[in-house]
Amino acid sequence: MAMRWRGRLRAAEQARFRSGLLGRLLTVLGISSLWFRRVSFTKRTLFLLAWAFVPRKMKLIVGGLAAAWLILAVAVTTAVVVVLAQLA
């Protein structure tokens, strides 16, 4: 009986979620109402949700810039260590 009640309650919640404009839009995007119950809204969560809508080309550009910055930071650090080793 309890399982049947939970099933009916879940179906009613999903129908209510999908009846609104936002619910229909999120359903088209593949995000269900269960997602909202599992996820706590933090800055990281909102960033990851926004990142999901960024085009793949833009992600490649941002990843390339991040990799270039990391390589440059390692090169500068290595150069400073070598110069300091020469002085000592």
Residue written as tokens 């609104």?
Answer: 20
The DSSP code sequence of 11-58 is: HHHHHHHHHSHHHHHHHHHT--HHHHHH----HHHHHHHHHHTS-HHH
Question: How far is 72 from 66, CA to CA, in rounded Å?
Answer: 10
Largest CA distance in the chain: 80
Q: Which residue has the higher pLDDT, 35 or 56?
A: 56
- 85 — phi, psi (to 5°)? -70, -35
Confidence at 25, pLDDT banded by 50, 70, 90: confident
Q: Is the pTM of this model over 0.95?
A: no
Confidence at 61, pLDDT banded by 50, 70, 90: very high
